Chains A and B, each alone.
Chain A
Amino acid sequence: AQSVTQLGSHVSVSEGALVLLRCNYSSSVPPYLFWYVQYPNQGLQLLLKYTSAATLVKGINGFEAEFKKSETSFHLTKPSAHMSDAAEYFCAALYSGAGSYQLTFGKGTKLSVIP
């Protein structure tokens, strides 16, 4: 079965420090890839998506992610963390199978930002 792995269920960074959230997907055929953010008591909001047009994808709120086929990775980064970035982040991959496409989510990484 296809899967998405997010390394680290909790990540803490200081305000102003680099944010790095890791995501690896399992597939020899690069799927479509997404990063979503979930703020407390809210639904998921799309941060960015990879659809094979460019390996470096820029998203909202200063986040970006780089697709690396050789490493089957799609890590999310932000140069300088802000307090408002504290949330849970989900990596997701769109896999095809049995004539359909389904979105497979990682288990999430909760980001804490320390003042």
Chain B
Amino acid sequence: DADVTQTPRNRITKTGKRIMLECSQTKGHDRMYWYRQDPGLGLQLIYYSFDVKDINKGEISDGYSVSRQAQAKFSLSLESAIPNQTALYFCATSESRYNEQFFGPGTRLTVL
């Protein structure tokens, strides 16, 4: 079984809809991250969490919110989706701030 899972893997939605992307991990890591990937732009950090009570904004948090329901679960929400949020979204975890991050398989989101 995969260590970091994301649901759904693909989602098509309409402008203005609320959508939630979910991430679960079995690695036992405290640190979790949400990234957005756009072609030619690399990965940009949306939000990160160092534990259940610690949530921090990344470089592109506008239009997004997150919830850390448990150590193993970290959800990303788009309250009112817009077309320029069409992208590939990745969840990642790490053991500590110095360690490598482990990535989920990604969620491809299309906003029409």
Contacts and interface: CB of A to CB of B under 8 A. Distances in A.
Interface of A: 9, 32, 34, 36, 41-46, 49, 51, 90, 94, 100-103, 105-108
Contact of A107 (B33, B41, B90, B97): B41
Given A44-B43, A107-B42, 20 more contacts: A9-B40, A36-B103, A41-B105, A41-B106, A42-B105, A43-B90, A43-B104, A43-B106, A44-B90, A44-B92, A44-B103, A46-B100, A94-B98, A100-B56, A101-B97, A102-B48, A103-B101, A105-B42, A105-B44, A107-B40
Interface residues of B, number: 22
Q: When A and B form their complex, which 6 residue pairs have the shortest distance between CB atoms, in order from nearest?
A: A43-B103, A101-B97, A105-B42, A107-B42, A44-B103, A105-B43
A68 B101 CA distance: 23
B14 to A, nearest CB: 24
Interface of B: 4, 33, 40-45, 48, 56, 58, 90, 92, 97-98, 100-106
Contacts of A108: 40, 42
